[in-house]
Amino acid sequence: MIITARSVLLGSALLCAVSSQLFSQDSPAALDQSAVEEATAAAQKQHEDFMSSLSWQTSETVALDGRATLEVPPSHRFLGKGDASKLMDYYGNLTDGSELGFISPDNMEWFAVFEFSDVGYVKDDEKDKLDADEILTQLKEGQEAANEELSRRGMSTMQVLGWHTPPFYNTKTNNLEWAIRLSSSEGGEMLNYKTKILGRRGVMDVVLVCDEGQLATVVPQYQEILAKFAYNTDESYASYTKGDKIAEYGLIGLIAGGGLLIAAKSGLLAKLWKPIAIGLVAIGAFIKRIFKGRTPDSI
C-alpha cells in the first residue's frame, strides 16, 4: 500500500478539473487564487467525508477473517474486510475485494494491508535458493503485465526499480520478507516492504507502504505490530497435518507471484488484471498533503 507518488483520486481529480476550467479562461488573470483555495477545500472536504464513512477500530484485538488476530496498538487505527478494500480503491489501487485489514498510525504517515491467499501449505525447502536477481526479473515482467490494465483504467503505472532489501526467510517465525523500490508514472519514488506469514492452509500477505526515508524508523514499528499477529491455533504453520493441501509453489513463487507462475503454465496469463506478481500498493500524493499538519482528531 508511501507514498509519494499517485494521485488518481477523487479529491485530486476534483482539484484538477476545477483548475483546468480556470486555466481555460481567455485571460490569465482569470486564475483566481481564491478559486483554487475553494477547489482544494472542496476536495479536502470530500476526502474527510469519505474517511469518516469508514468503520475505524482502535486499540483492540481484531480478527482477520477468522484465521488470525491482530492487536491494534494505541494511536493506531484499523479497518476490516470491506472497508479496507474501499480505501485501497480510493487510493487508486487495483483491488478485487480480498483485503482483510488495513492498519496505520493515526497520522497516516504509513500503512500496512493484509490479505490471505488460501494456496495451501507452502514448503520452505527453497529458503537457501532465493536468487534475488532472477526473482527481480520476474517481478519486473509481472508489473509490466499489470501496467497494461492500469493504463486501460486510466490509472498511474508503476515501475520496479530494484531491491531495497533482498528477500530473506526467518525460520523461527516462518516469515518471508523483502522490500522493493518503485517509481510512479506521475513522478516520485516509493517503497513497498512485504511480509509473507506462512500458515497451515495458506499465506497472510502483508505489505507495508512508506517513503524510503522512513524505513529505518517505520520498519521497527511495523515489526512490533506483526509480533502481535497470531494465527488461530489450527491455522498456524506448525499445525500442518499430513493430508493438508500443499501449495503448487514454494518461497520463490511467493515473491515472484505464484499466481502468475500457474497462469503461465495454463495459458491464462494474458487474462490476469490484478498485479499479483507484486501486489503493489500506493496512496495518492494529494491525500498525503491533506494529512500533513493535521491532528489525529481532525482526520
Q: How many angstroms separate the CA atoms of 85 and 89, rounded?
A: 6
Q: Return d(Cα 285, Cα 245) in angstroms, integer.
A: 42
27-65: per-residue pLDDT in tens? 454 557 888 888 888 888 888 899 999 999 998 999 999
Question: Which range scores top for mean pLDDT: 31-45, 258-272, 278-292?
Answer: 31-45
* 33 within domain boundaries: no
Number of H helices, E strands in the chain: 8, 10
pLDDT score for 281? 53
Residue 230, SS3?
strand
Phi-psi region of 225 (alpha: psi -120 to 50; beta: other; left: phi over 0): alpha
User: Is pLDDT at 169 greater than 50 in this prediction?
Assistant: yes
Instruction: Output phi, psi for 76, to 5 deg.
Output: -130, 165
Residues 240-261 have pLDDT tens digits of 999 999 998 899 888 876 433 3
In a domain, 2, yes or no: no
Residues 19 and 33: their CA atoms lie apart, in Å, by 10
Residue 13 included in any domain: no
Residue 122 CB coordination number (10 Å): 25
Q: How many CB atoms lie within 10 A of CB 132?
A: 15
199 burial (CB, 10 Å; 0-12 / 13-18 / 19+) is buried
Q: Mean pLDDT score of the chain, rounded to an integer?
A: 76
User: Is residue 150 scored above 80 in pLDDT?
Assistant: no
CA gap 220, 224 in Å, rounded? 6
pLDDT at 277 over 90: no
Domain that holds residue 108: 51-298
Domain count, the chain: 1
Domain with 200 in it: what CATH number? 3.40.1000.10
pLDDT band with cut points at 50, 70 and 90 for residue 225: very high
The 10s digit of each residue's pLDDT in 152-161 is 878 778 888 9
Is 16 inside any structural domain? no
**Mean predicted confidence (pLDDT) in 2-24:** 33
Residue 203 corresponds to which cell in the numbers above?
499465506
